[in-house]
Structure 1
């Protein structure tokens, strides 16, 4: 009987080793950008969860290398990592890298504080309709020229958390943020007031695709890219991507 149990144990260990060997590890590069990806978040954030699932379905384990964004690009440029994420495809980047289909899309909205704005605009057709509101801005953000073009009443804030505090104090009316980023900042910095914030459902910009940016020199990268593409397509069809998103952002509407 003891010999039989020993043989079963040896068989189980051999099977585990065989399965591990059947799933080679792929190097990936990323950086801190919560809630999409961060070492401080459960399972490294929503985007990392999607990426891990796609590679697992494709037959790979992944190892995440947390770097600055310039170093992440350098790592895939030199073939030391198969891909970096999350990245937005641009014409400049497409000259030296390849991109996956989007794992998710991100859009910016205008957040407000409900106690100071019990009747916010439910929608708007033009930013001209928002001239009566005091709107937060931060230096370097894409929306500043747009707000200037429509002659909106803006006030410079230090960062997104400062903008949310100004909403809460009644010093500002609206604050533009990426939907997931705004929800994350509210939840992480002022959870006791989470239900007191809302956002106007009219988006400020078009949906921005967030993807894997693939190296062209990593070993067998073409094969990896094709297998991950098939896995990602399956995840889109069977609802896995949507389920991961909603598990991380149950309050985000519309779901994406």
Structure 2
């Protein structure tokens, strides 16, 4: 009988610790296969983020919204961080970034029937001025495309961009490799072989990170706590294991 009170005390103590963990607001958006409400545990990137905050002693609440809204939310201090975001000079002037949780590379996708002879290599984006290129608001490449004076057209999302390629209304659509292949496979599997991507990377490996607010309560403390947790996850192989579990197969040929 003595064990029962001790067991109850232990359970109450553990419940008290769980209740004491503060809940942190985070902002994100639909970006499968990295982040999505339709994927197990909200996708690979969310799994990494959730475990990092848990190790740091925090619970998280995910707020799904558009990427411009997510950026505005952390600017106003209504969320501690948004993810996944690529560090850029413009963003680093306003926000703090974690070390990359994963890296990816962006390519320009095209529709083979409408572009049987794509530019397989390019040394400068200036060489692409003759092509109609899809863009979406809030993406990192917009200032770069503007700098090179490319012919761009805003589309609602990447699936719409792919459909515009299929219809011949646009020529190229920039996406990370995992993202582009996932979107084609999931949204138009019967036409999967009709799409390809230019093998010249649009950029170097893209770091995908947490973008921290400077206005959220206890922002610096949260950032430092999570930074330490991410360092541990990098050292013990947790980040790599989560990535491999979510992306186990080799990528299809180009």
* 1:203 counterpart residue number: 201
* Matched ranges for 1:128-139 at <5 A: 137-138=133-134
Q: What count of residue pairs does the alignment treat as equivalent?
A: 245
Q: Give SS of 1:81's match.
A: coil
Inter-CA distance 166–89: structure 2 relative to 1 (3 Å threshold): closer
Among residues 242, 249, 255, which one is paired with 2:247 in the alignment? 249
* Matched ranges for 1:1-256 at <5 A: 3-4=1-2, 6-109=4-107, 126=123, 137-138=133-134, 160-161=158-159, 177-190=175-188, 202-252=200-250
- Contact kept? 2:105, 2:201, Cα under 8 Å: yes
Normalization by structure 1: what TM-score?
0.70
**Structure 1 range deviating more: 221-230 or 194-203:** 194-203
- Contact kept? 1:136, 1:163, Cα under 8 Å: no
Question: Residues of 1 paired with 2:248 and 2:111: CA distance?
Answer: 19
Q: Give SS of 2:68's match.
A: helix
Superposed CA RMSD: 4.2
Q: Give SS of 1:65's match.
A: strand
CA-to-aligned-CA distance 1:155-201 (integer Å, 9 cap, x gap): xx9975577679999xx998753111112213322457879977676
How far does residue 36 in structure 1 lie from its aligned partner after superposition? 2.0
Inter-CA distance 206–58: structure 2 relative to 1 (3 Å threshold): same
Question: Residues of 2 paired with 1:164 and 1:29: CA distance?
Answer: 26
CA-to-aligned-CA distance 1:47-88 (integer Å, 9 cap, x gap): 111111111121221111122333323322232221111222
* 1:154 counterpart residue number: none
How far does residue 225 in structure 1 lie from its aligned partner after superposition? 0.9
Question: Residues of 1 paired with 2:160 and 2:215: CA distance?
Answer: 43
- Contact kept? 2:21, 2:58, Cα under 8 Å: yes
- Contact kept? 2:24, 2:61, Cα under 8 Å: yes
* 2:115 counterpart residue number: none
Structure 1's unaligned 5+ residue stretches are: 115-119, 150-156
- Contact kept? 1:29, 1:72, Cα under 8 Å: yes
Inter-CA distance 167–88: structure 2 relative to 1 (3 Å threshold): closer
- Contact kept? 1:137, 1:144, Cα under 8 Å: no
- Contact kept? 1:30, 1:86, Cα under 8 Å: yes
Structure 2's unaligned 5+ residue stretches are: 113-117
Inter-CA distance 125–238: structure 2 relative to 1 (3 Å threshold): farther
Q: Give SS of 1:92's match.
A: helix
Q: Give SS of 1:38's match.
A: coil
